[in-house]
Structure 1
Amino acid sequence: MVAFGGYSMPLVYPDCGIIESHLHTRSKVSVFDVSHMLQTK
C-alpha cells in the first residue's frame, strides 16, 4: 500500500506480483481506476 491523496492505494497485491497481475488482466478481466491518472481543465 502506498499513500495517495490522503488514502492508501494498493500498488502490488501480496499474493500476485506485477507480472502475474498483468497476465491476469490480459487473460481474464480486471478493474483499474484510471481517474487518478489525468487532469482536466
Structure 2
Amino acid sequence: RKLLEEGHHVLIFSQTRKMLNLIQEAILLEGYNFLRIDGTTKIAE
C-alpha cells in the first residue's frame, strides 16, 4: 500500500491463473486499479 501511495507501480507474477484469480479478488476488494495479462489475453488487447 505504501508503494502505491508514493506513486510506484507494482508487478505481480504467478505460475498459475488460479493464484492470479485470488490476487485479483484481493486487489478488487481494496479498490486498486490493475491490468491483468495471462495466457488467455489476446494479442490485440
Q: TM-score range by the shorter chain?
A: under 0.3
Instruction: State which structure, 1 or 2, has the greater radius of gyration over its C-alpha atoms.
Output: 1
TM-score by length of 1: 0.28
Q: Higher helix share goes to which structure?
A: 2
Q: Higher strand share goes to which structure?
A: 1
TM-score by length of 2: 0.27
